[in-house]
Chain A
Amino acid sequence: MDVEQGTIVTLIGNNGAGKTTTLRAITGLNHPSSGEILFDGHNLNKLAPEKINRLGIAHVPEGRRVFPQMTVLENLEMGAYLRKDKNAIRQDIDMVFNHFPVLKERIKQLAGTMSGGQQQMVAMGRALMSAPKMIVMDEPSHGLAPIMCLEIARIIREINKKGTTIILVEQNAMLALSLADRAYVLDTGNVILEGDAKELKENDDVKKAYLGG
């Protein structure tokens, strides 16, 4: 599997295909039993999550997982935990609020008391706060209202336009394929198809299996 800088790459597949596991292996939550994960020339196989964050990879975990007892602002600050440049951090907080204006209104609200869509925004904002080179996103649209999905998709594209590489895992293959440049189709841990996202979207097998006809 290859992820080129500045692109959006998506992994699609059924439940249990190994999408989340792949992402968790990239950010060090799991350690792969075989194979190699390279990023900017660094081998990530045995690194701890906090070291991988330092290299510039941020992870938006499945199910959002904001820090529920912390405010929106504190959640964002945690995203910037390793950064020392206070001014740049402040600018990035403003940048996040530009992406997600609703968060600015709720800056002091405890993240655990927010709606699912807003929590997703907090989680994505938190990932942005580490000024990452690459963000891996696990099911950002999961459990959200359709309108919210579109909103999230728009923001993912925005983030990518600014030069951040994105690996996107999605149940919603339609959404994922229309966002992505490249796509990999996973089945029980193996890549069974790969290619340009636009082409895969037209592929009959993919249509049948993942796009509902």
Chain B
Amino acid sequence: MWKKISGLAIIGIIFCSLPYMVELYRMEVLIVLLFNLILAQSYRLVNTTGDWSLSHIVVMGVGAYSSALITKLLGWPFWLSLPVSGLVTAFIGFLIVFPLLRTIGFGFFIGSFALGEFVRLIWVKFRDPFGGPRGLINIPSAEIGPIDLYQPIPFYYFCLIIAAISIWIMYRIDRSHIGDTFKAIHTDPVLCETIGIRVPRYRAMAFVIGAFFAGIAGALMAHHQGAIDPHNFEATLMVYLIIYVVVGGIETFWGAALGVIVMTVIFEITRPLEEWRPLIAGCILILFLVVMPGGLDVLLPKTMKLFRKIPGIGQLFT
């Protein structure tokens, strides 16, 4: 137990001190890293039932658009619009997943891809209120009461808190009875059906919970960027999200987060080769799927021995 706490504390300290360890212009990267952590973990939650949705980026976009519209048009404060956007996204997530519940495997991948595109096209199509292809601009920056979160460092800490809470909740879900049911569905949906588990209900539940947190990530992103447009949620970015999760591996809870961190580092190192980035990403994806289908997770038993030497952290990765 104390090992776990100390492990968490070390990670917490690292994340808290990161802003003082990097140059200011890298703050942007750190903030995006936090969005991606929430996003990838929420995606992983959906994946635990075996449903690899290809609409998750669009689902995040729903959160971004909701929070932008809620604060812009309704004038609600940011602290209220953040959770409300999560709920709105969860609801839209339900609408997306509903027609897909009778499908498995490819039907689900492709169907979710197409339905995600449908939602995205709504934003392109309707100028009012979504702003059409140019999207929304002048989204109010985040502030809570008197605290202005416009500056990168306060915003980073705010996102860190939200990410910590979100990931903690997802962790609790993963370890709960519900999380076990999700995994059981992945292993053998037919068996689950025969022992009385309502498979469609749980698949929908995973998708909706995942959508909620993706929506939170989207809302944070919208207020951070100040402007969003349909291009921010294209299928290309969906592939990047898949890469995070594949690289990290989905066997353990922390795989997705690990993937985000590793890939962010790789992208930072290869920044001079920006136009080759998709190629690098594509190669990494293929390499992992073909050579190391379990992701970095599989390497963990080996790396764990190393980690165990550092008090606490090894415990975390079990």
Complex contact flag A–B (Cβ < 8 Å): no
Where the two chains meet, the residues of A that have a C-beta atom closer than 8 Å to any C-beta of B are: none
Where the two chains meet, the residues of B that have a C-beta atom closer than 8 Å to any C-beta of A are: none
